[in-house]
């Protein structure tokens, strides 16, 4: 009864909203998995929680995030009007909402079971999306070998962004299988892997691979039955290798055969060059809160996107703004290394790596792994005997 009653407390409602936010991502109308049109659950969490915030009790991370909001609403907005003549409300709302959401979540100091429930919701969201990819085999363009998801009358998700979203669920699911040796998690891991491969996203494939290696290494290190767990990990790798045969031939060829000289990489490098050229025209504060295409059109007369999250940050916020972003990321990495949480290090590295190849600056798959790692570290700092394994 006490557990049921806890679901109807403010904390319980916030956790439930966080779970809904992840489970229902498939209904987002944004091709690139942003939150400009999928903000309801996050906004509700912030509204419910605002009354509990007390700026005088902010920790270091919350103070830093609050500073970032101030920067967005002052320097970035002014820069937008001066250089572009307008600003994107979608980008402004997305950044402010992510940062405010981050601040209020840190205020709760969630316990292990609450964080585990939220991580599980991300995992099952990945399973749902992977199932829809595998079952419906919806191609992004006619004749293309890349598969995606379309729900209701919403536009199809971009396969690159869909693949990036599946990286974190794959890491969590494979970790749970290695740890618990359950058929359920074997099935979920192979399902997500199949969906991930069918997106034919090379960045997502590489990111999930070394994320899996980091997490597996920590689980193996923490367990006394090292050799049994090691054999399970090898079994999963062998099954994954055999599972590649089940993906469509075109997707296989794009991933493993002829994809690296098909012109897409040259085009991406060309996009990066346009982005860097535009950056050097306004290096200090960037161009403010606008999309990359609008910035590149204004700065270098190109209708391209940067295709790189970090170039996008440079375009929007310049060196000064990016320095503050890098400060937060470096602090997070230092804390992960301090606690020797190499599984979380793998999650962060895989998240940052996949964003080299796409512009995910306001995407769910960029922000949420960072937020979840921060929540886990916050709990570990209170209970030093805990580790990543305890959240699985």
Position 301 in a domain: no
Q: What is the CA radius of gyration of the chain?
A: 21
- The answer to whether residue 166 sits within a structural domain is yes
pLDDT category, 101, cuts 50, 70, 90? Answer: very high
pLDDT tier at 247, thresholds 50, 70, 90: low
pLDDT in tens, 169-214: 999 998 898 888 788 998 898 889 888 888 888 888 888 888 888 8
Residue 177 is assigned to a structural domain of this protein:
yes
Residue 19 pLDDT > 60, yes or no?
A: yes
Measured CA to CA, the distance from residue 112 to residue 194 in angstroms comes to: 30
Q: Is position 272 within any domain?
A: no
> What is the rounded CA–CA span in Å between residue 384 and residue 115?
16
CA dist., res. 288 & res. 294, Å (int): 11
Number of compact structural domains in the chain? 1
175 belongs to a structural domain: yes
For residue 2, pLDDT over 50 is answered with no
Q: Kindly state whether residue 131 falls inside one of the protein's structural domains.
A: yes
Q: What is the mean pLDDT of residues 297-312?
A: 88
Question: Cα dihedral sign for 119, 125, 128, 133?
Answer: negative
- List the domain range (segments joined by +) for residue 216: 2-52+77-241+361-391
Region 2-19: what's the mean pLDDT? 78
Q: Does 157 fall in a domain?
A: yes
Residue 330 lies in a domain: no
Quick one: tokens of 80? Answer: 């937008």
Contact 72, 289 (CB under 8 A): yes
């Amino acid at each position: 009864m006490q557990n049921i009653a806890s679901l109807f407390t403010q904390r319980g409602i916030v956790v439930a909203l966080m779970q809904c936010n992840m489970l229902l991502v498939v209904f987002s109308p944004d091709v690139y998995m942003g939150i400009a049109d999928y903000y309801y659950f996050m906004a509700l969490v912030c509204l419910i929680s605002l009354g509990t915030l007390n700026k005088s009790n902010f920790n270091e991370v919350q103070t830093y995030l609050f500073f970032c909001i101030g920067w967005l609403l002052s320097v970035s907005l002014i820069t937008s009007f001066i250089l572009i003549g307008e600003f994107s409300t979608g980008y402004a709302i997305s950044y402010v909402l992510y940062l405010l959401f981050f601040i209020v979540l840190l205020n709760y100091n969630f316990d292990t079971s609450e964080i585990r429930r939220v991580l599980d919701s991300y995992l099952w969201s990945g399973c749902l999306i992977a199932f829809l990819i595998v079952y419906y085999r919806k191609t992004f363009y006619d004749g293309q070998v890349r598969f995606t998801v379309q729900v209701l009358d919403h536009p199809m998700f971009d396969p690159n962004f869909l693949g990036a979203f599946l990286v974190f669920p794959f890491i969590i699911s494979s970790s749970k299988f290695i740890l618990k040796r359950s058929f359920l998690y074997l099935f979920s891991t192979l399902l997500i892997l199949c969906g991930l491969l069918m997106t034919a996203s090379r960045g997502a494939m590489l990111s999930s691979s070394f994320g899996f290696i980091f997490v597996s290494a920590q689980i193996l290190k923490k367990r006394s039955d090292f050799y049994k767990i090691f054999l399970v990990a090898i079994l999963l790798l062998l099954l994954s290798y055999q599972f590649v045969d089940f993906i469509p031939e075109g997707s296989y060829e794009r991933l493993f055969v002829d994809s690296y000289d098909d012109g897409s990489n040259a085009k991406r490098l060309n996009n990066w060059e346009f982005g860097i050229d535009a950056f050097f025209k306004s290096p200090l504060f960037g161009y403010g809160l606008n999309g990359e295409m609008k910035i590149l059109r204004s700065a270098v007369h190109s209708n391209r996107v940067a295709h790189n999250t970090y170039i996008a940050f440079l375009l929007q916020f310049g060196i000064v703004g990016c320095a503050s972003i890098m400060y937060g990321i470096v602090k997070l990495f230092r804390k992960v290394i301090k606690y020797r949480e190499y599984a979380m290090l793998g999650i962060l590295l895989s998240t940052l790596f996949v964003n080299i190849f796409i512009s995910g600056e306001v995407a769910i798959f960029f922000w949420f792994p960072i937020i979840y790692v921060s929540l886990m570290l916050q709990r570990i700092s209170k209970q030093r005997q805990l580790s990543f394994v305890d959240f699985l």
